[in-house]
Structure formats: structure tokens, C-alpha cells
Amino acid sequence: MKVYELIKKLLEKGLVEHSESPWASPIVIVLKKNDVDIRMCIDYRIVNTFIKLSNYPLPLIDDLLIGFKSAMWFMSLDMASGFWAIRMTERAKLISAFVCPFGHFQWVRMPFGLKNAPWYTRQ
């Protein structure tokens, strides 16, 4: 029942929508550390084999640390749900489609798990 509630919440927030995409990646449910709440993951391994890798690699951590050498102030941000700030193109929505016992859905906002999601989030 928790999966149904989670899907309902994602629909209400406009993060996912019903889909008629030819793609349908399976979901994987993982219990959070409290053994009560769930995390829904999507197995994009097959989809990712069809996605062309972005031409711009993420910077190496060593290069970033060198850039911080002369900094006096540092700040840390929690990017929880940060991927959801990025709108998906119509084509990307189709590729992001997933299936569960309650239907066939696609993301309106960027999910994690797609091959180039970290690169787009960094932009």
C-alpha cells in the first residue's frame, strides 16, 4: 500500500504523470533505515544502454580541491530532491517511463538513475 501512496503523492506534486511510452523500466522498492518508510528506485540499466553519454565529464575532485585552496568561506548544501528541479523534455519523459502494479508512469522532472542526470543537475 505504501507504493500506491508514494505514486499518488508523486502525481499530486506533478513529478510524474500517466504514460503511454513504449519504455517501461521496473521499480525496485527499498526500505529506509527506519524499516518503515520506503524508497522507490527505478532500474534504468537497460534504458541507460541506449542513452548517449554526455560530452562533458564531471570535474575531478582533485581539480575542485585545488580551486578551493585560497577560499576563506565554505558552504554545504543538501541536494535532497535536487534532481526534481529540472524539467524533462518530452522525449526524455518517454525514456523515463516506469511500470508498477498501479500503472505506467513517466517523470515530468528529472529522476536519479538516468545516465546523464548528474551532468544535467550540475548545470
Query: Which residue blocks in the chain are alpha helix, DSSP H?
Result: 2-12, 45-48, 61-67, 90-95, 117-122
What pTM was computed for the model?
0.76
Segment 83-106, tens digit of pLDDT: 777 898 999 999 999 999 999 999
- What is the chain's pLDDT, residue by residue, as a tens digit (123 residues)? 799 999 999 999 999 999 999 999 999 999 988 888 888 999 999 999 988 876 766 678 888 788 788 888 877 766 556 677 789 899 999 999 999 999 999 999 988 877 766 655 555
Q: Could you give all domains of the chain from N- to C-terminal order, each with its CATH number?
A: 2-67+81-122 (3.10.10.10)
- Tell me the Cα Rg of the chain: 17
Residue with cell 565529464: 57
Q: Work out the burial of residue 111: count CB atoms within 10 Å of its CB; fewer than 13 is exposed, 13-18 middle, 19 or more buried.
A: buried
